[in-house]
Structure 1
């Protein structure tokens, strides 16, 4: 009993000193990261070596599988996800999807439910997940609140600013909805920081 109390207070001390708690498991050298999503994950707007999964692999020194399907919606991604998880058995998934739903004006609640189902499926398999918010196209670009809602519900690392900052900077985008090589580098760097901040590296 005394030992458990000591461990508890030591854990609290570590958290208070670092200012954060670990949300994802540390990635060993052999662990696989799965980048799952649509054309942004695939790297449209840049060459293969400039895609964010390629840059992230160099930053993390880990294998990063690029599994992005241009034009894919969250509903299609949900159908595809199970087989991809079984094929690669990743330790961490970077989920970045929803832009095509918004281009097709699919209801926000439907997008949110599909994202919830994807995150739930990943978590049920004991795999960590990081969520990246995708901006809704328009005169004023903004990331819908449902991304943050899903991240809070499942207590997973989340960034809702990086893609917005890239897609509102002409120097960092190839077209209105895709980053260029420099934009993907910035996206990969932010994801790398998220992994480190949450205990993955």
Structure 2
């Protein structure tokens, strides 16, 4: 009898465990539902700074160039060295009108953090960028940038600034995490303290493609 009760108790425990796992998976699915795929040949706009421009490598080695070859998209690299979220906000209307992209990748904020722009202002600028794109019916993904930490950079342990998670949650847009934090944590993948080298951009493009595929933007072969 004791053995039977133990078995029954174990079964009930397993049922509860399965239910918990199911609820967690359901919550994750609701948080990150699959996005409509972007067809090959469609225009994708990358609004960024020197990380998108490709500083630290040759122009053809920048991750937007590599991502274009891997996805078949027509990628417009609107990365400008030194640009900030306020600069991106000012540039965006003309870029949207000129290129009419299906997808906007936002890679901005690093220069704001370097210049110690208040975090609240950075968040508001990013939310305004997202709101502008949404009014044009453009799909959006936000790319997280590492916190500025010379100590963490020195020991190879950078992490994304939490402001990106907050903005993504508030605006309900997909967030691509850990790409630049991981690459810039490795000395062999850096051209300097804040830019990848050619091999680093290869890793950025590869991981970016995987993240976009997981979100549903990249069509499965």
TM class, shorter-length: 0.7 to 0.9
Residue 127 of structure 1 pairs with residue 144 of structure 2: no
Residue 78 of structure 1 pairs with residue 85 of structure 2: no
TM-score relative to the length of structure 1: 0.86
| Shift >6 Å, 4+ stretches | none
Which residue of the partner structure matches residue 171 of structure 1? 188
Rounded to whole Å, the distance in 2 between the matches of 1:23 and 1:96 is 21
Aligned residues: 185
Q: CA RMSD in A?
A: 1.7
Partner deviation per Cα, 1:23-51 (whole Å, 9 max, x = no partner): 43211223111111100010000111110
Rounded to whole Å, the distance in 1 between the matches of 2:187 and 2:50 is 18
Which residue of the partner structure matches residue 125 of structure 2? 114
Rounded to whole Å, the distance in 2 between the matches of 1:99 and 1:148 is 15
What is the deviation of 1:142? 3.3
3-state secondary structure, aligned to 1:174: coil
2:162 to 128, 133, 145: 145
TM-score relative to the length of structure 2: 0.79
Unaligned regions of 5+ residues in structure 1, if any?
A: 1-14
What is the deviation of 1:95? 0.7
What is the deviation of 1:186? 1.2
What is the deviation of 1:22? 4.2
Rounded to whole Å, the distance in 2 between the matches of 1:72 and 1:137 is 16
Which residue of the partner structure matches residue 18 of structure 2? none
Residue 48 of structure 1 pairs with residue 65 of structure 2: no
2:177 to 127, 137, 160: 160
3-state secondary structure, aligned to 2:46: strand
Q: Is the 8 A contact 2:52 2:62 kept in 1?
A: yes
Rounded to whole Å, the distance in 1 between the matches of 2:161 and 2:215 is 23
Residue 183 of structure 1 pairs with residue 194 of structure 2: no
> Which of structures 1 and 2 has the bigger CA Rg?
2
Partner deviation per Cα, 1:75-131 (whole Å, 9 max, x = no partner): 111011111111111001111000111111111111011011111111121111111
3-state secondary structure, aligned to 1:179: coil
